[in-house]
A and B are shown apart, each in its own frame.
Chain A
Amino acid sequence: DIQMTQSPSTLSASVGDRVTITCRASQSISNWLAWYQQKPGKAPKLLIYEASSLESGVPSRFSGSGSGTEFTLTISRLQPDDFATYYCQQYNGYSPYTFGQGTKLEIK
């Protein structure tokens, strides 16, 4: 299976900050990478697909980049609603779909 490793596990930031979360794959997944946001007691919400495509309705302060084995999710100006846990997921069709362990974004 392809292992997905996110860093950091926890991130403390303030409203208005620019933050970046990294996701590394144990082998190349081309651009088959998605990012999700999850709030307590809620289902994950798709933010980014194909590594850099913004899901419809998601604010433009969210952006994704990368290909191969290294990917990033950037939030350009944190809003109060953005404090949540973020997961990356690879969906390379030749391997079971796997998620990163999550990054909890906390208010500083």
Chain B
Amino acid sequence: QLQLQESGPGLVKTSETLSLTCTVSGGSISTTDYYWGWIRQPPGKGLEWIGSIHYSAYTYYNPSLKSRVSMSIDTSKNQFSLNLNSLTAADTAVYYCARYSGDLAFDIWGQGTMLTVSS
């Protein structure tokens, strides 16, 4: 059974860069059928898609975050990563990684990791 697990620092200072990793277990990240994405949710608020990546390294970012986002994939470790720079308090959120397909939307999610941005 495919599982996703986020890992990250928990607390980052304002203006710094966030690095999060999602480890995929129970299946290969190197599949043509799926993309891998990041979604975030500020406390008490709704969901925001950040971006998606394919094992071929094709990326697709939310235009509202595109200038601050980069994603990468490491097929040897079965992991994909998110970098988000120039952090502000508005980036405080639970960050989820998820599997995505054009048919099934986001069908498998990680449990989420809370990120707090503080000066």
User: For this complex, into which size category does the number of interface residues on chain B fall?
Assistant: 20 to 34
* Beta-carbon contacts under 8 Å, A35-54 to B: 36, 42-46, 49-50
Partner of B112, one of A43, A98, A102: A43
> When the two chains form their complex, are residues B47 and A1 in contact, meaning their CB atoms are under 8 A apart?
no
> When the two chains form their complex, are residues A43 and B111 in contact, meaning their CB atoms are under 8 A apart?
yes
- Which residues of chain A have C-beta atoms less than 8 A from B55's C-beta? none
> When the two chains form their complex, are residues B63 and A44 in contact, meaning their CB atoms are under 8 A apart?
no
A55 at the interface (CB under 8 A from B): yes
> When the two chains form their complex, are residues B105 and A49 in contact, meaning their CB atoms are under 8 A apart?
yes
* Beta-carbon contacts under 8 Å, B64-119 to A: 64, 96, 98, 100, 102-107, 109-112
Given contacts A50-B103, A96-B63, contact A43 B110 (CB under 8 A): yes
Closest A residue by C-beta to B104: A49
- Which residues of chain A have C-beta atoms less than 8 A from B47's C-beta? 44, 87, 89, 99, 102
Report the separation of the CA atoms of residues A36 and B102 in the bound assembly, to the nearest whole angstrom: 16
A53-72: CB near B (< 8 Å → 1, else 0) gives 00100000000000000000
- Which residues of chain B have C-beta atoms less than 8 A from A45's C-beta? 109
Report the separation of the CA atoms of residues A36 and B47 in the bound assembly, to the nearest whole angstrom: 11
- Which residues of chain B have C-beta atoms less than 8 A from A42's C-beta? 111
| Interface residues in chain B, defined as those with a beta carbon under 8 Å from any beta carbon in chain A | 46-49, 52, 62-64, 96, 98, 100, 102-107, 109-112
Given contacts A50-B103, A55-B107, 5 further A-B contacts (CB under 8 A): A44-B47, A44-B109, A45-B109, A49-B105, A97-B62
